[in-house]
Structure 1
Amino acid sequence: MLTFTPAQPPAERTKYTVEATGAKDGAGNVMTAHTWSFTTLELPPPPYSPKSPASTSGPPTPAAPPPPSPRSPGRRSPTPAVGR
């Protein structure tokens, strides 16, 4: 097993190539050189940052109060006369 711990975090959106050479097994046999590469991704922006899709929604906004009633307070609608 080979473990690599970088001194600095890898840069975003960067291609890295790794080459392992000279490694030996328990019996002292040298392994064949092996090369591979990988590319790092861009880290997601923090929540509510300008680049974040979540920032368009932001914290929840309270609902707007209902519109005022067309009737004035204290005024009643006329009651139809029954049986007249």
Structure 2
Amino acid sequence: MSKKLLITGAVASIILLAGCSNKTEMMQDSIDNLTNQVGELSDKVDMMASDHSSLKADLQAVASETERANARIDNIATSYKK
């Protein structure tokens, strides 16, 4: 009976190890997939950051132009008299 138990344990161990090796390949594929997704997201974040920088520069240009236009309007309004 001890021999049968030992053989059964050995067979069960082999089966469990075989199941783990298949999961390792699946896990590696999942890790590779996640790595690719993280890379794509990093690229998108970099692109959004550069877009944000260019929009910020454009906004500053518009703000300065608005201030200049408001100053011109104020000068026109103060010089006009009825």
If each structure's strand is expressed as a fraction of its own residues, which one has the higher value? Answer: 1
| Higher share in helix | 2
TM range (shorter): 0.3 to 0.5
Which structure has the higher relative contact order (CA within 8 Å, separation 6+)? 1
The two structures have a TM-score, normalised by structure 2, of 0.35
TM-score scaled by length of structure 1: 0.34
